[in-house]
């Protein structure tokens, strides 16, 4: 299985007082404490130059109290697809009043898997495992969207119940230095040549996204985010280098966008409101895939079509960090910076735009202040800083993160990062 060897996380050398997160500490008057905490953060942010991040924002049907978003972060701790008890504590530590948390990528069906120990939304025991996660976030006034995921060709026959190769738009393998880990022997293998999906399988996968969305809502999630990025199945349909179908799902840009748009339609119908549905893309992503040769025309068309839905948001990964987070899983480096920009997409898409791009507090505030994005998602620093929102508001140093603990199965590097000391309220 994945190595459970990990080193204890590095501690910030800032000189600021820190303590371990306390699962037991609760405010005796949650509403008053939450309101006071929000006001305190807004005041502190003005002094730190990050006040743009601490303004309210409406995203579809949901009202946020600040614009620091926790990005989806695969952590590989859900043995058997079931979130363990420590997962509830992990998310609870990072929840804030009116703050959006997007869950780790969550498999929509048995064919969706491509990594070991990732959670699902189709097993009854998984749904039970998600309930305390949602409750813990809501207890702190947080907003929780669950990310819906299908790996497509980024998988292996060992993940498939029938032992067949994984499905994809076309029978074209991933061309990459990265490899896939088998869930049976936990060894690394070349990505296999996938099998091209039959028409009925396309219909079934679209429906599975909708069913997963229903399941997410049933356990109390406030909404869902569709994973359309990072070389997974929606990204595969979009990209002409991975999709060489000759029917209505391949060829032209319009046809290659059809699958993504039908998934969005299925999910919106399942949730009951497009205002509780977001979607994530990585237009310039090199993770498991070379970007489409017509990146700008492709995503300009796609975003113009998404304008018609009234989604909660579109979440775009910026070019300089499109493939860094999961590159560590494969023990390779992410791609270097490129001159591409999200600006043309900002001009096309009229709804809420969340940007993710390796930001820290000041750069994120500048992105919002300069209308580059409406909110900014943080990944690795949300791993190492359970109190990241407060640290950004205070301008406090950030804990370093421990890559070796990103994908292990224990508490180290998961729920043991330090937080700044607080004066108990209430």
Whether pLDDT at 128 is above 60: yes
Mean pLDDT of the chain: 88
| pLDDT surpassing 90 at residue 17 | no
Lookup: tokens for 67: 């614009």
CATH classification (class only), 18-420: alpha beta
Strands annotated E in 150-190: 167-168, 180-181, 188-189
| CA end-to-end span of the chain | 45
How many other C-beta atoms lie within 10 A of the C-beta of residue 312? 29
Is residue 192 a contact partner of residue 200, using CB atoms and an 8 Å limit? no
Domain edges within the chain:
18-420
pLDDT on residue 92: 98
**What is the rounded CA–CA span in Å between residue 327 and residue 17?**
33
Residue from 115, 159, 232, 401 carrying the catalytic annotation: 232
pLDDT at residue number 422:
59
What is the per-residue pLDDT across 287-342, written as a single tens digit (0 to 9) for each? 999 999 999 999 999 999 999 999 999 999 998 654 444 444 444 444 433 446 89
- Mapped onto helix, strand or coil, the DSSP state of residue 269 is helix
The tokens of 305 are what? 């079509």
| 248, pLDDT greater than 90 | yes
pLDDT tens digits along 332-353: 444 433 446 899 999 999 999 9
232 is catalytic: yes
């Amino acid at each position: 299985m994945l190595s459970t060897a990990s080193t204890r996380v590095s501690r910030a050398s800032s000189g600021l007082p820190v303590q371990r997160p306390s699962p037991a500490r609760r405010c005796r008057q949650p509403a008053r404490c939450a309101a006071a905490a929000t006001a305190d953060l807004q005041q502190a942010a003005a002094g730190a130059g990050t006040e743009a991040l601490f303004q309210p924002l409406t995203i579809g049907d949901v009202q946020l109290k600040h614009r620091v978003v926790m990005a989806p972060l695969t952590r590989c701790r859900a043995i058997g697809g079931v979130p363990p008890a420590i997962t509830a504590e992990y998310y609870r530590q990072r929840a804030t009043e009116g703050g959006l948390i997007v869950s780790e990528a969550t498999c929509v069906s048995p064919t969706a898997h491509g990594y070991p120990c990732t959670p699902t939304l189709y097993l009854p025991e998984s749904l039970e495992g998600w309930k305390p996660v949602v409750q813990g976030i809501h207890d702190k006034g947080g907003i929780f969207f669950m990310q819906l995921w299908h790996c497509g060709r980024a998988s292996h026959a060992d993940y498939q119940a029938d032992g067949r190769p994984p499905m994809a738009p076309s029978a074209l393998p991933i061309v990459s230095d990265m490899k896939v880990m088998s869930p049976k022997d936990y060894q690394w293998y070349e990505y296999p040549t996938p099998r091209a999906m039959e028409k009925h399988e396309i219909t079934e996968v679209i429906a599975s996204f909708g069913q997963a969305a229903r399941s997410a809502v049933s356990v109390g999630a406030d909404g869902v985010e569709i994973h359309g990025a990072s070389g997974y199945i929606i990204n595969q349909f979009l990209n002409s280098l991975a999709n060489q179908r000759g029917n209505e799902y391949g060829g032209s840009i319009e046809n290659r966008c059809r699958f993504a748009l039908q998934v969005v339609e299925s999910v919106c119908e399942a949730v009951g409101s497009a205002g509780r549905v977001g979607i994530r893309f990585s237009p310039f992503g090199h993770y498991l895939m070379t970007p489409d040769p017509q990146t700008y025309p492709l995503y300009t068309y796609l975003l113009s079509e998404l304008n018609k839905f009234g989604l909660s948001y579109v979440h775009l990964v910026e070019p300089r960090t499109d493939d860094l987070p999961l590159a560590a899983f494969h023990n390779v480096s992410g791609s270097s910076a490129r001159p591409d920009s999200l600006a043309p997409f900002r001009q096309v898409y009229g709804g809420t735009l969340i940007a993710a791009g390796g930001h820290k507090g000041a750069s994120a505030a500048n992105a919002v202040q300069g209308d580059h994005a409406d909110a900014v998602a943080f990944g690795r620093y949300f791993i190492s800083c359970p109190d990241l929102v407060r640290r950004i508001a205070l301008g406090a140093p950030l804990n370093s993160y421990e890559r070796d603990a990103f994908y292990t199965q224990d508490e180290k590097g998961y729920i043991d990062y330090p937080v700044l000391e607080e004066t108990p309220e209430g």
